[in-house]
Amino acid sequence: MSEKTVRVFDPAMCCATGVCGPSVDPVLAAFAADLDWLSSMGVSVRRFNLAQEPAEFAANATVKQALEDKGDGALPVIEISGEVKSTGVYPSRAQLAAWLGVNAESAPKSTGCCGGKGKSGGCC
């Protein structure tokens, strides 16, 4: 069985996850937690930020074509084991689990970047 991989081509953001600054988008926080969960399940996860790693976008023909066709609206591009599964939106944990063939029910619900550690947990 080949290694399961997730590659995320994010729009330009202030940091690698977008979970930074005074106003955090809850969708980005949940997605970051979902990727951490996948990583803990043995899935290889890699994110690319357009502002920080533009060469990765140019080197991927599918991502490059999506950007040419749809502009920044194509981002994020979610690639699962080499196949584009989603463009323009961040998928849910259930979608990620289904694409990867893992059980989403075995994991705690996404609680954001702090991982549900309460008020003492910190983000970024």
User: CB-side exposure of 95: number of CA atoms within 13 Å?
Assistant: 11
C-alpha span between 86 and 109 (Å, rounded):
21
Question: What is the percentage of the chain residues whose pLDDT exceeds 90?
Answer: 64
pLDDT beyond 90 at 14: no
| pTM of the complete model | 0.79
> Mean of the per-residue pLDDT values for the chain?
83
C-alpha span between 114 and 110 (Å, rounded):
10
Question: What is the percentage of the chain residues whose pLDDT exceeds 70?
Answer: 74
Q: Which amino acid is at 120?
A: S
C-alpha span between 72 and 40 (Å, rounded):
30
